[in-house]
Chains A and B, each alone.
Chain A
């Protein structure tokens, strides 16, 4: 079974402070991990994926297979970062088809 855990429902930080949104996963194979973001009144959209090893809007996430974690980090929070963040895992199934599991989400609130 595949599972994604986001332990914090709400994370409040001051503008300019570092941000770390936690994500832990459970999967027996080699997963693909993603972070999706949903800004107020907008649709869910991809923020970044671990395979790309990219930094988007100042956010980075490193896959730690030993700790089965994929935490999202940003050194200096901005007000526009306030949003709902979902960690997601894509696992291969028999026949080569994917199943995506989402965490319950963490609401990031950046205080001016």
Chain B
């Protein structure tokens, strides 16, 4: 099991463009959460997907949207990119049945740079 995988590893975009990041969860996991980690900060929760629906959302604008597929993989889309969107985007997977004490497994992240 490769664990959580994310693609691409790095990405450079221009202001105003749109970007799609991808995540494959750890085998057996059904829940995917996305985080934004700016330089020197902890991960900030963007949203969580379970059963192909967005279950929880953090304080991020509607420019941030996502999708979960039947195989539990997920995409994060960001529209109208701003310079401030430059960050490391982390995907984490978990098992819904584990409850609040669940362990999240993190991917290596996608480094997005907006110029």
Residues of A within 8 A of B (CB): 4, 6, 9, 32, 34, 43-46, 49, 51-52, 86, 90-93, 95, 97-105
Contacts and interface: CB of A to CB of B under 8 A. Distances in A.
- Majority SS of interface residues in chain A? strand
Nearest to A102: B42
B43 A97 contact: no
Contacts of A99: 45, 48, 56, 58
Given A95-B55, A97-B56, A99-B48, A51 B101 contact: yes
Contact of B108 (A43, A93, A98): A43
B106 interface: yes
B42 A104 contact: yes
Contacts of B58: 99
A86 B100 contact: no
